[in-house]
């Protein structure tokens, strides 16, 4: 038996093209299914329209009796999420005592979101315009920063490079693992303090995490064909 972790699906985003794949993935029998934030992209489109457009996927999620929905910064309010996912556990974070693991979206450690949320939302229409031409500015600049930081510190892709990653690990040393999304950088880093696990996203990397309850191991998996 396994747990499934999906993050940053961004329903409503023009880059999301994996609806049928996720529905098929959910046909597998999982012990728990986690949506680790930014499931509904309320920055991108009207929430009611998103729910209508992706009714089959949302219905599939609501058919599960083991769904945990964690709020991300692009998601609508907790109250709205509870309406969309009435059969799920909807929360800001979730502690799984079975494996001493905390699941959060991670935007609470993003200085741009915390200190300059007004700026992020002001710039979003510019990003929106570029997305219509299949150009994701935020993803481009994240990759550029990541590449420079990795070369500077002589670390591989799997290591902790971003400040947000270091802060999350430092803040949650009392847990065995912390599972996040938000940055769209999929990785598993077995840190001596706490394991850092990022699910990635479904607009570019198309990745997810599975946790094997028997072997007690996390595995980063990619959409087949990617």
Q: If DSSP codes are grouped into helix, strand and coil, which group holds residue 204?
A: coil
Per-residue pLDDT of the chain (226 residues; tens, 9 = 90+): 999 999 999 999 888 999 999 999 999 999 999 999 999 999 888 999 999 999 999 999 999 999 999 999 999 999 999 999 999 999 999 999 999 999 999 998 876 655 555 555 555 555 555 555 555 656 555 555 555 555 555 454 456 667 788 889 999 999 999 999 998 889 999 877 899 999 999 998 899 999 999 999 999 999 975 4
Query: Can you read off the two tokens belonging to residue 12?
Result: 């409503």
Find residue 195's DSSP bridge partners. Answer: 177
Give 206's DSSP letter: -
In this prediction, residue 131 carries a pLDDT of 59
pLDDT digits (tens, 9 = 90+) for 188-199: 998 778 999 999
Domains in the chain, CATH or no CATH each = 2-222 (3.60.21.10)
Residue 126: count other Cβ atoms within 10 Å of its Cβ.
10
Cβ atoms of 210 and 190 within 8 Å: the answer is: no
Dihedral of CA 102/186/9/128: which sign?
Answer: positive
In this prediction, residue 141 carries a pLDDT of 56
In this prediction, residue 164 carries a pLDDT of 84
| pTM for this model (two decimals) | 0.84
Query: Can you read off the two tokens belonging to residue 86?
Result: 């009435």
Query: Can you read off the two tokens belonging to residue 89?
Result: 């556990």
């Amino acid at each position: 038996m396994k747990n499934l972790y999906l993050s940053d699906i961004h329903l409503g985003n023009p880059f999301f093209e994996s609806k049928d794949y996720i529905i098929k993935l959910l046909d597998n029998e999982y012990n728990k299914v986690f949506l680790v934030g930014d499931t509904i992209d309320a920055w991108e489109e009207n929430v009611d329209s998103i729910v209508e457009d992706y009714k089959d996927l949302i219905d599939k999620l609501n058919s599960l009796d083991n769904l945990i929905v964690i709020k991300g910064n692009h998601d609508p309010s907790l109250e709205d999420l509870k309406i969309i996912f009435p059969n799920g556990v909807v929360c800001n974070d979730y502690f799984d005592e079975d494996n001493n693991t905390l699941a959060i979206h991670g935007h609470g450690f993003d200085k741009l979101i915390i200190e300059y949320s007004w700026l992020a939302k002001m710039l979003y229409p510019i990003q929106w315009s570029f997305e219509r031409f299949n150009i994701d500015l935020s993803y481009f600049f994240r990759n550029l920063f990541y590449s420079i930081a990795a070369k500077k510190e002589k670390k591989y892709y799997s290591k902790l490079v971003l400040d947000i990653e270091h802060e999350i690990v430092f803040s949650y040393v009392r847990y065995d693992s912390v599972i996040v999304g938000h940055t769209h950088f999929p990785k598993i880093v077995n840190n001596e303090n706490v394991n850092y696990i990022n699910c990635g996203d479904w607009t570019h990397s198309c990745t997810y995490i599975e946790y094997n309850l028997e072997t007690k191991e996390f595995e980063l998996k990619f959409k087949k064909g990617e």
